[in-house]
Amino acid sequence: MSDVQLNRVSKSYGKTEVVHGIDLDIGDGEFVVLVGPSGCGKSTTLRMIAGLEEITEGTISIGGTVVNRMEPRDRNIAMVFQNYAIYPHMSVYKNIAFGLRKSKLPAADKDRKIRDAAGILDLSDLLERRPSALSGGQRQRVAIGRAMVRDPSVFLFDEPVSNLDAQLRAQMRLEIKKLHQTMGTTIIFVTHDQIEAMTLADRIVIMKDGDIHQIGTPTEVYQAPANMFVARFIGSPSMNMLGARAVAADDGIGLRVDGLGAIAAPAGLHGKLSDGQALAVGIRPDDLIVSDAPADMDMISLSGAVEVIEPLGPDTLVYARVDGHDVIAKAPGRNPPVVGATVAMQMRQADIHVFDAASETALV
């Protein structure tokens, strides 16, 4: 078993606490991505799991064993870094074999492991090459191969593709995902890139300022963000946020939203609002559609002046000004609106997110 558990784990450097008592349960074989802005404590957390940083408080267990005082080499983990340290004077074969330098396996078994890993990583034809004759992606695969031959129970990746160009990053992401599907090893992966997190993870752990803000599948954190930080961080472009207030009405409570005026409160909010409560109403650009079609009953319509358009191919992003507020909406790729035009936009009542403005937590 190679599940990983963090129980009230804190890290301080001197008097400054940078990770604040986090809890995290990672299942055997799960692919978990720690994501958050720079400085939020994701690398520190990963390095504590690896044993490269001491834990100030709390416990970390791997496969049911508390590893707080265990040396990194005894934890049966393998770590792949952004700056993959492969040796320029060694062939690909020798670089991968380096992962087995401390192994007591017979030479024939070592050779088989190296060739198996090279096969999975599509490096079989390159075993005699030096790193200088490899592409960036191939070099990264050599670093992964070196980690693989050790049969770790957990793989730790610290921004492993950040140094690569955009096309290669996408390719390496796919390869790492395939590798996980082939091997089924537990993976903990750190990135600041929310798209990388969404595309790779079984579950995403979203961190900010040393705290975990939400843990969930990519769909959960996208569709039901726990607070305004997660709502803005996940999804590109970011969720539109409009100031709002709860207002008492004859038939219960409604919302008065900047740029939208009075709208009915979404069903899930009944009983949760008090008159005058300050709110933020969020709508994803993907859910705010530029359209002249007559609106259905459950639609909210608004209109705004187009300030900028960004053609993306299949869709066009429309940056519009609605009653003094900026919103981003989506239009089709064909026949997009022109700058300066006034356009009608529609959103479904059900796609609205409502947050308490003071605590920033989601109410629906």
- Residue 45 contacts residue 160 (beta carbons within 8 Å): no
Phi first, then psi: give them for residue 301, nearest 5 degrees: -110, 145
Stretch that binds ligand ADP, among 37-45, 102-110, 138-146, 331-339 (CB under 6 A): 37-45
Work out the widest C-alpha separation in the chain, in whole angstroms: 82
**Rounded CA gap, 94 and 86, in Å?**
10
Of 251, 271, 272, 227, which Cα lies nearest the Cα of 262? Answer: 251
Half-sphere exposure of 275 (CA within 13 A, CB side): 5
Examine residue 213 and tell whether it contacts ligand ADP (CB under 6 A): no
CB closer to ligand ADP out of 36 and 225: 36
Of 148, 128, 131, 122, which Cα lies nearest the Cα of 87? Answer: 131
- Pairing mode, strands 252-257 and 211-216: unpaired
- Residue 338 contacts residue 253 (beta carbons within 8 Å): no
Token pair for 302 = 């608004």
Among 39, 58, 136, 237, binds ligand ADP (CB under 6 A): 39
| Count of helices and strands (H, E) across the chain | 8, 20
Among 4, 6, 32, 44, binds ligand ADP (CB under 6 A): 44
CB closer to ligand ADP out of 44 and 153: 44
CB closer to ligand ADP out of 161 and 345: 161
Residue 163: CB minimum distance to ligand ADP, A: 15
Residue 315: CB minimum distance to ligand ADP, A: 32
Residue 83: CB minimum distance to ligand ADP, A: 14
CB closer to ligand ADP out of 23 and 323: 23
CB closer to ligand ADP out of 20 and 130: 20
Examine residue 51 and tell whether it contacts ligand ADP (CB under 6 A): no
Residue 288: CB minimum distance to ligand ADP, A: 31
Examine residue 13 and tell whether it contacts ligand ADP (CB under 6 A): yes
How many residues bind ligand ADP (CB under 6 A)? The answer is: 10
* Type of residue numbered 319: Y
Strand partners, 22: 9
Stretch that binds ligand ADP, among 38-46, 119-127, 274-282, 340-348 (CB under 6 A): 38-46
CB closer to ligand ADP out of 193 and 258: 193
Q: Return the exposure string of 118-149: e unless at least 16 CB atoms fall within 10 Å of the residue's CB, then b.
A: bebbebeebbebbbeebeebbbbbbbbbbbbb
Token pair for 276 = 């005058």
Among 15, 38, 64, 250, binds ligand ADP (CB under 6 A): 38
Q: Return the exposure string of 184-196: e unless at least 16 CB atoms fall within 10 Å of the residue's CB, then b.
A: ebbbbbbbbbbeb
Examine residue 18 and tell whether it contacts ligand ADP (CB under 6 A): yes
Stretch that binds ligand ADP, among 39-47, 62-70, 242-250, 276-284 (CB under 6 A): 39-47
Among 2, 4, 43, 144, binds ligand ADP (CB under 6 A): 43
Binding site for ligand ADP (CB under 6 A): 13, 18, 36, 38-44
